[in-house]
Amino acid sequence: MSDKTSKGNFFEDFRLGQKLVHSTPRTLTEGDVSLYTALYGSRFAFNSSDTFAMNLGFEGAPIDDFLVFHIIFGRSVSDVSLNAVANLGYASCRFSTPVYPGDTLKATSSVIGLKKNSNNKTGIVWVHTEGTNQNDEPVLDFVRWVMVPKRDIDAPAQGFLTPELDPMSATKELPIPSALDLSGYDTELSGSQHLWGDYETGERIDHIAGFTVEEAEHQMATRLYQNSARVHFDAQMTKDTRFGKRLVYGGHVISIARALSFNGLGNAFKVAAINGGTHAAPVFAGDTLYAWSEILGKDQIPGRSDLGALRLRTVVCKNHSAEGFPYRSGEDEYDHTVVLDLDYTVLMPT
């Protein structure tokens, strides 16, 4: 049989310090932006209107931060998580240079952690992924960790290290676009009158609306990102797994959460960082998702009187409204309805 096809990497194929140069650079277009809007219906004016963004000093409407995240993530899948059992979490994610239609993105990853699981059938791999544009300017970098099966249960791990991650490292010296000028920010056009000073640490917001995950849409979204992980596409393979069906890509859930959060956080126009994130439970086609957010902290941006940062926790639950703010049922255990716990930082006019 020909050996020209790739079966992807298994746990024993990774080694500490390994650098992976990911294939298939991606030029983003207005078509990608329109399809992303069709999938999630996000209403943030900053990413929807060229004139709105230009009034803030940008050359046009930047591509949604999470679309950038998904595209960079998608570059890494064939090398990191093609065979993954699950993508477990994120940390230390920073968005830097704005991305516009016509920009070409590419990515590399470094293996920063390895841990063999006690069942000896799987292990956890931590990678630091960096995305750049056609000018080699950084647009995004993040850490993620995935559970990957072993090809041979007797094969030894190529090292052992559980990395120590600083949950707030991404928010240190936030990269604020130099052109940003909020003197032209229009709250009527943004759809919300609530600015940075109107929020209080500890405040909780129920985003109210529900969003039902459709089979065709989550499949289309994952293809848009060229995320080739088999657990999202291969119904024949997944019918023999513990769930018996395809898993929804966790990033699809993140984008749904961001779209839902507009109701209550309409002026959180820019995602600056993801401090940490956990996929607490799987999501499947047919599930209906709800979201609520908590203000974890507030910071003014040094040298800026017009701009502040909010640290948010957005929690997504399935098939249960966010009323009552379901979160944890115990000290270390999530409520059975919770599927996503996302800690991130947004920028907002003061």
pLDDT of residue 21: 97
pLDDT digits 0-9 by tens, 8-41? 899 999 999 999 999 999 999 999 999 999 999 9
pLDDT of residue 118: 87
Determine the Cα–Cα distance for residues 250 and 86; give it in Å rounded to an integer. 9
Residue 3 pLDDT > 80, yes or no?
A: no
**Higher-confidence position of 83 and 196:** 196
Average pLDDT, the chain: 93
Residue 2 pLDDT > 80, yes or no?
A: no
Using the structure block, give the residue that is written with the tokens 């090292």.
159
Residue 205: φ, ψ to 5°: -125, 120
Percent above pLDDT 70 for the chain: 98
pLDDT digits 0-9 by tens, 125-139? 999 999 999 999 999
Determine the Cα–Cα distance for residues 82 and 231; give it in Å rounded to an integer. 8
Task: Give me the helix-helix angle, 250-260 and 30-40, nearest 10°.
Answer: 80
The 3-state secondary structure of 170-232, one letter per residue: HHCCCCCCCCCCHHHCCHHHHCCCCCHHHCCCCCEEECCCCEECCHHHHHHHHHHCCCCCHHH
By mean pLDDT, which of 5-19, 76-90, 135-149, 334-348 is the weakest?
76-90
pLDDT digits 0-9 by tens, 224-246? 999 988 889 889 989 988 889 99
pLDDT digits 0-9 by tens, 164-218? 887 666 567 788 888 899 998 999 999 999 999 999 999 999 999 999 999 999 9
CATH numbers and ranges of domains, the chain = 11-28+63-162 (3.10.129.10), 189-350 (3.10.129.10)
